[in-house]
Structure 1
């Protein structure tokens, strides 16, 4: 009950989901939260300037008034957890197709959420575990006024950098401190100068005694998902095809960004968080490939599967139901491989080229206008302006142009059906010169210039839509996305349904 208790403060009340992507720990009765340096790095970077470079020099607020607000950052507490498996799987049968099964589950989840009462400041999330065989409902409370209190210089907080990342033992001061603020009645509230430090139900004590070999330890937090039950064919695919492709793309992107960061301190600040994000999973995937090869991971999987097959074959009922399961999965993974590779390459390339993100936001205005007229356009416009502001705050046109030049060869080298015809035509128009291809994309467009885009969005809706629909870059990237959705995403979903 000291770990989980819904009637009094317990350990769960001192552990938060930090920003939805990390774990944090409440370590004081005044809402002080400890998390990793890399978890707070985006906030640290957002507040860094040439004059106040908190990435390089660190930051410490001398009092509450000096703590820095962070728009969009939040922490989430778990209020309670309930097993809702029986309600979610009600009416689900083994004879259903995957689509029928998921439809029934979605319907049941909607009903469960409808039937459950909650406070106005709470949310109910239902999540599946063990590939949808178990479901839990998490009642949560989210606080959105989270302020930066302190962080060491990156020379301490990220000591060892990529060399030591994902490696053990590791010696680094990987921490940052934030503070949760709440309304005067201790409820979640948007940022306000009137908010006060949050008063938690439970805060962790920090021991100054150190540790010794054999001391009890426990990991308590918010991990990601695992794929430990993957078929050996899927693991082999990761090792031999998917991870190497993603590693290659990230190395190319990191090379471009690193070159600019070394030459320009302003670019170094703008791209610090992006580079850290890039290198994090580049190192992770590199280690994943190395580790699986070194430990003969695929062969071990195949050994488990051999034992499974022998047990199935020895039982007539099981053999009738599952006798061909492993072979069927192996064949289906082989079928899905080109789509999985195309998906990973698309995601890795397009998320690096921010002109894609800029034009995607602009194209969403066209979609909103064509669907719901000016009312839909105006509603979407507020979101687009906010998104674009976030992009341009950390954007450099020269870096983006060189990322386009460096990564588009990978995109265009894919099988013909995975490449938008408009993209190949545009490349051929420049006589197969990637430098000219990039120059045309950025020189024939002003969407890499913040001021001009902001001026465009102040014009009447019809004029904005006309400009977007007749501009080269938005048309180009829309064609790329449409081709991906039709020839990769949709076809992959059909095959994935058979795996599920």
Structure 2
């Protein structure tokens, strides 16, 4: 993902014959004004109303954001409605956590797959929700009316918080809708989003990981790809069609719109658009920010995540139960780890810092060319440089304290959950009680009730804590991360309890980890429940895991304070830089960075040239699955029946015109994390695939768009249907879809 010298400033359209490679993640409400004409020229056959409408059903009504909880402000993935009974397609890796939670050694849905035979077999997921966008609105004038240039950062933020809270309340229809107000262009614009959230979302189907995760971490971010990265859910509602928590009485949702599915496939230069909820980009980041990421932030994260992944992996390979327990956690962390490695490589290889410096030089000259501009923007870049220097001084202590300490071994974070219980167990002194006896008695009674409620809540959380937990693996994580903390964290900044406890073990972090796990009440469910049966203050005060947690928390608060101060100093400078940049290039069309709001990106099906003398085709086929097969490697195992179907070329109606089964294809659409599961749609508004990854050569794309290299990797919807129908035999799901297939064109033979 992406770009060249002036990437930070404007919409760049690359015209190479029929090639459409538009940089930008566009707000649907603005498509008619900014993009519609270009999209028509590129192959769009829908009206503007069919794309986005508040009063009529449109494409937006078939797009959902996946999240946890009833009032999300962001989404970890995207899904699309593909039937009039609320059926949802998304990626396998988006559904991975839900699949893992339903898996056991006896019913290993991760390994074997899962296909509900009917509605009654579809599995509920209490934490999962989907959000439909009702409408969006530009509220910039309303929000910015409450601020002025005399306010400092804190005053400005407080005024905006108050105003956005008012907007959320006034537009929620008494709590019916989840209302979110988001900042755009670093606080220069604000938009309001109204969502209807459904919390009864059930797992319908998922291929085995040997299909849905084929290629594993090795192929992640790579092309060519042969992954059937999809899973299927269904959204349910109350009988009256309104959102409702899980109930056996709920019924499948009848959506406003669902996407028809095309069997026509793709060819080079075909128009494509992707809808979804991209999470975060930083396209307007300055060279100072790039330098900060490369030299201060990314190296520490890569180092610590790599150690943790290695520790988990050794136990996962040795025990099937542990493999299931840690599958989701490992997959998510491995994705982040490889992403940061790839982005580091891309930023350096594409000289992103240097390219941004060119733009900053232009900005400096522009600001100096006018007295008013000089007064407003003359120090902006210097302020940015200073702010990042301050952040650089605090980021390493913050990362090591959080990733190796508080967020390292899970036992540390779990111990911290008992801090409130410790406070309640601490005897209250008479001087802290009301003098009136009745009021004092009431206060003591309330404290006892709060204590009982806290114990009850902690006891209810024991099963959840230990369901996907293996103490020996966590002990190994503690040892390797404490080793990194001891060697990489300046001694004077290390947590006091850690220093003291490590000294007693002669500096041996493995011995320290063993000491903690042998003596902590948080190391097993049996110990925790025994403690909760007879809770006492002394046991908590001497517990080694809680002592470490307290000490790490103190250091984390210190580091975070300095980091937040530096961030605050950057806020004004970032806002003014982007304000000035848009004025400097007033004739350019700017798009906002991704921020987990609904966006649309359009492009085309394309191949690419990653390096000299290397060409990558725009499709991959089932033949490549067999070429990659390795029965000795879990990442490349091919299920026997799938292998049989491929060898017999038994592809049914899902083969292309040449009899080949297309697995994945490439497009030039501009996506990022959060777009996983997004529908890739043709010019007719039909589903042709699911976006699930970006390519290795463009890993810098969240910061710098590179049109020649940036590609989205999509699983072809025909491969999805092939797996559902021919491999799994789940024909009831095929029958539920609206499937379109163009009539074959007659071949004209001219006589010579």
Q: Same fold (TM over 0.5)?
A: yes
CA distance in 2, matches of 1:227, 1:348: 23
The aligned counterpart of 1:450 is 525
Measure, in 2, the Cα distance between the counterparts of 1:382 and 1:305. 57
Question: Do structure 1's residue 17 and structure 2's residue 65 form an aligned pair?
Answer: yes
Contact residue 134 and residue 196 of structure 2 kept, 8 A: yes
Which piece of structure 1 moves more, 489-498 or 267-276? 489-498
What displacement does 1:73 show?
Answer: 1.0
1:482 paired with 2:557, answer: no
Which of residues 394, 401, 419 is equivalent to 2:468? 394
Residues paired across the two proteins, number: 496
**Structure 2 vs 1, CA of residues 386 and 167 (structure 1 numbering), >3 Å: closer, same or farther?**
farther
> CA contact under 8 A between 1:369 and 1:376: conserved in structure 2?
no
Secondary structure in 2 matching 1:28: coil
**Structure 2 partner of 1:274:** 329
Contact 2:110/2:209 (8 A) holds in 1: yes
Change (3 A) 1:385 1:87: farther
Partner residue in 2 for 1:217: 272
**Which residue matches 1:471?**
543
The higher relative CO (CA closer than 8 Å, separation ≥ 6) is in 2
CA spacing shift, 1:117–1:406, aligned 2, 3 Å: closer
Query: CA, structure 1 residues 427+390, in 2 after alignment: closer, same or farther (shift >3 Å)?
Result: same
In structure 1, C-alpha distance between the alignment counterparts of 2:567 and 2:343, rounded to whole Å: 23
| 2:407 paired residue number | 351
Change (3 A) 1:136 1:38: same
In the alignment, the residues of structure 2 paired with residue 96 and residue 14 of structure 1 have an alpha-carbon distance, to the nearest angstrom, of 42
User: What is the rounded CA distance, in whole Å, between the counterparts of 1:35 and 1:187 in structure 2?
Assistant: 23
Pair 1:117–1:496, CA change in 2 (3 A): closer
1:304 deviation in Å?
1.1
Determine the C-alpha separation between the residues in 1 that align with 2:145 and 2:458: 41
Offset of residue 477 of structure 1: 0.7
Contact kept in structure 2, 1:88 and 1:112, CA below 8 Å: no
Q: Deviations over 1:16-75 (max 9, x none)?
A: 111231000010111110000000001111111112211111111111111111121111
Q: Which residue in 1 is equivalent to 2:308?
A: 253
Mark the CA change 1:382 to 1:319 in structure 2 (over 3 Å): closer, same or farther.
Answer: farther
Alpha carbons 1:359, 1:477 under 8 Å: kept: yes
Distance 1:278 1:13 in 2: 32
Structure exhibiting the larger radius of gyration computed from Cα positions: 2
Map of 1:493 onto structure 2: 564
What corresponds to 1:146 in structure 2? 201
1:68 to 116, 123, 147: 123
Residue equivalent to 1:315: 370
Cα deviation, residue 357, structure 1: 2.1
Structure 1 length-normalised TM = 0.95
Deviations 1:71-102 (A, max 9, x none): 21111111111222222222211222111110
What is the RMSD computed on CA atoms of the aligned residues?
Answer: 1.9
Cα distance in 2 for residues equivalent to 1:8 and 1:123 = 20
Q: Distance in 1 between matches of 2:297 and 2:172?
A: 44
1:121-174 Cα offsets, whole Å, 9 max, x none, are 322111111112211121111111111111111111111212221234433100
Identify if the C-alpha distance between structure 1 residues 489 and 187 changes in structure 2 by more than 3 Å, giving closer, same or farther. same
Q: What's the CA shift for 1:379?
A: 4.6
Name the CA shift for 1:363/1:315 in 2 (closer, same or farther; >3 Å): same
**Alignment counterpart, residue 384 of structure 2, candidates 329, 342, 352:** 329
Classify the secondary structure of the residue corresponding to 1:135: strand
SS of the residue 2:235 aligns to: strand
Q: Is the 8 A contact 1:79 1:140 kept in 2?
A: yes
Q: Is this contact kept in 1: 2:86–2:236, CA < 8 A?
A: yes
> Offset of 1:204 from its aligned partner?
0.7
Q: Judging changes above 3 Å, is the alpha-carbon distance between structure 1 residues 375 and 232 closer, same or farther for their aligned structure 2 residues?
A: farther
Query: In the TM superposition, what is the alpha-carbon distance from 1:387 to its structure 2 partner?
Result: 4.2
CA–CA separation in structure 2 for the residues paired with 1:435 and 1:117: 53
Unaligned regions of 5+ residues in structure 1, if any?
A: none
Task: Identify the range of structure 1 (264-273 vs 326-335) with the bigger mean alpha-carbon deviation.
Answer: 326-335
Matches within 5 A, 1:183-222: 183-222=238-277
CA distance in 2, matches of 1:367, 1:307: 57
CA distance in 1, matches of 2:449, 2:541: 19
Q: For residue 64 of structure 2, give the secondary structure of its aligned residue in structure 1.
A: strand
Q: Which of 150, 160, 171 is matched with 1:116 structurally?
A: 171
* Unmatched tracts of structure 2, length 5 or more: 1-48, 68-74, 429-445, 572-752
Match of residue 2, structure 1, among 37, 42, 50: 50
Does the 8 Å CA contact 1:78/1:141 hold for their aligned counterparts?
yes
The structural deviation recorded for 1:258 is 0.7
Map of 2:421 onto structure 1:
365
